[in-house]
Amino acid sequence: MTGRKIARTRRRLRHAADDGGPEWRLAKRGPIRAYDEFSDVEIELRLGQKDSSSIEGLLIDFRYVAADGEMSRRSLLCWQCGRHADKIYVRGYCPFREELRTFRIDRMSDVIAFLGGQETPIDDVRPFFAGFAASAAQESEIVFLETPES
């Protein structure tokens, strides 16, 4: 990704992590409610992490390569991070599909996370997300992630 594209993405999402009025297109309307077919419950997500050891509420922007090789740019309001076999997955609300989606972190690149109101480029995604997956496992909040997005 070129420096110009990164700057444009950052400008587009800059206000997303502000507590005083997020400008992320779907967060403006307040909490986002989505149905989780795995647990058969409706969840409610809000922009902004309440606990820095939990991924819930974290906003990330990234480039994603699907199993068929199709590349897309995504944003995700994170809900869960977990492991299945030797892979780490992130699950959250995707505004492009307007539903909960699951993404493999080894297919992500150019990740920008909004941590504590600051945009932070994530150079090495595995240790970044592994910390959240480990925290969820210690707290027994991890959900078996069965059908990741291809």
Tens-binned pLDDT, residue by residue, of the chain (150 aa)? 555 555 555 555 444 444 433 345 555 557 888 988 888 889 999 888 888 889 999 999 999 999 999 999 999 999 999 988 889 999 999 988 889 999 999 999 999 998 877 889 999 999 999 989 887 765 544 444 444 444
Domain ranges of the chain: 3-138
DSSP the chain: --HHHHHHHHHHHGGGG-TT---STTGGGSSEEEEETTTTEEEEE-SS-SSTTS-TT-EEEEEEE-TTS-EEEEEEEEEEEEEETTEEEEEEEETTTTEEEEEEGGGEEEEEEEETTEEEEES-HHHHHHHHHHHHHHTT----------
Supply the pLDDT for residue 65.
96
Label residue 40 left, alpha or beta by phi (over 0 means left) and psi (-120 to 50 means alpha): left
Supply the pLDDT for residue 36.
87
Supply the pLDDT for residue 135.
74
Supply the pLDDT for residue 104.
96
Phi, psi of 114 (to 5 degrees): -105, 100
Supply the pLDDT for residue 5.
54
User: Do residues 22 and 77 touch, judged by C-beta distance below 8 A?
Assistant: no
pTM: predicted TM-score of the whole model, two decimal places: 0.74
